[in-house]
């Protein structure tokens, strides 16, 4: 008896990623500026550059970390390089180099006047130059934490959902998968160590329940957050802040309707909660406008 092949219907894609710390921000921004979602590009979702302080830390780590040295943060945007010495079970730490970075200075240096009472080993000119060069290179990059945070923002813009409840795996609707594939290519081309995984989601009862449960968790969390800001706020929000929350609620209403249509399921509790919150915000915006 011959087996009949049943057509597989996909309703989107589950994706995850693992990122490195060598992603070029300019390259990501250029790529995101070419990706459109509706009438807008994704440029506002591109990551920011590493801060000077983070760049200095990365440069010091590259030159000292793993060689019996630790890079310790100090107050006022400074770092100290500490040498660890171990004898048996005893571990001692001694200050090796002090580094200083202040806003307005183009490069860090190792001669900190606050450390005059401590005899420090001054960095050699060659090592100091190498650290400064690496710091400047790091300032063109973004951290994996920043990049991952921005990718979660992209997922939200694509009406995607976190399916695990605590990050790690995200579901993207079928209609926005092509945009995600463009984002993935930009990120992979912009840095080493950036890896993505993904697989198509088969439309069956289990995947439907999983996706709608994820949607419900996401909506309940956002509704509670907005209610906390608006309904239970101890101080009044301004009209601009209220407009932002109202716009977000309308986005959530559209997202709910989209998933209801896609899975042919009604989410009455979520729809009703969003309707009430929308009305509350419309009234609050009107009152704020009158007060102005």
Question: Per-10-residue mean pLDDT for the chain, 292 residues long?
Answer: 50 91 96 95 96 86 79 74 65 56 56 48 74 89 95 95 82 93 97 92 81 90 88 67 91 91 89 91 80 66
Vertex 277 angle, CA 162 and 272, to 5°: 75
pTM, whole model, 2 decimals?
0.80
pLDDT at 211: 86
> What's the 3-state SS for 19-63?
CCCEEEHHHHHHHHCCCEECCEECHHHCCCCCCHHHHHHHHHHHH
CA 181 remoteness from chain centre: 18
pLDDT at 109: 58
CA 193 remoteness from chain centre: 17
Task: State residue 95 phi and psi, 5-degree precision.
Answer: -70, 125
pLDDT at 132: 83
Pairing verdict, β 36-37 and 191-192: unpaired
């Amino acid at each position: 008896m011959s087996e009949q092949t049943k057509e597989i219907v996909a309703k989107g894609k589950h994706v995850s990623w693992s990122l490195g710390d060598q992603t070029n921000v300019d390259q990501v921004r250029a790529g995101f500026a070419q990706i459109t979602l509706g009438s807008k590009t994704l440029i506002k979702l591109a990551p920011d550059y590493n801060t000077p302080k983070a760049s200095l830390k990365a440069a010091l780590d590259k030159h000292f970390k793993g060689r019996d040295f630790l890079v310790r943060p100090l107050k006022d945007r400074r770092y100290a390089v500490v040498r660890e010495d171990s004898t048996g079970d005893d571990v001692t730490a001694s200050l090796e180099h002090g580094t200083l970075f202040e806003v307005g200075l183009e490069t860090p240096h190792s001669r900190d006047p606050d450390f005059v009472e401590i005899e420090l080993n001054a960095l050699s000119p060659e090592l100091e130059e190498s650290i400064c060069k690496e710091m400047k290179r790091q300032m063109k990059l973004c951290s994996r934490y920043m990049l991952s945070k921005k990718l979660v923002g992209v997922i939200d813009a694509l009406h995607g959902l976190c399916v695990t409840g605590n990050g790690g795996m995200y579901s993207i609707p079928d209609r926005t998968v092509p945009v995600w594939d463009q984002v993935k290519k930009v990120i992979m081309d912009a840095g080493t160590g950036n890896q993505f995984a993904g697989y198509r989601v088969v439309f069956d009862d289990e995947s439907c329940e999983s996706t709608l449960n994820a949607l419900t968790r996401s909506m309940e969390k956002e509704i509670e957050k907005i209610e906390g800001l608006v309904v239970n706020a101890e101080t009044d929000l301004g009209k601009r802040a209220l407009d932002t929350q109202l716009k977000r609620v309308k986005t959530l209403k559209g997202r709910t309707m989209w998933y209801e249509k896609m899975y042919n399921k009604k989410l009455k509790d979520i729809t009703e909660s969003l309707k009430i919150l929308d009305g509350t915000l419309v009234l609050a915006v009107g009152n704020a406008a009158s007060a102005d």
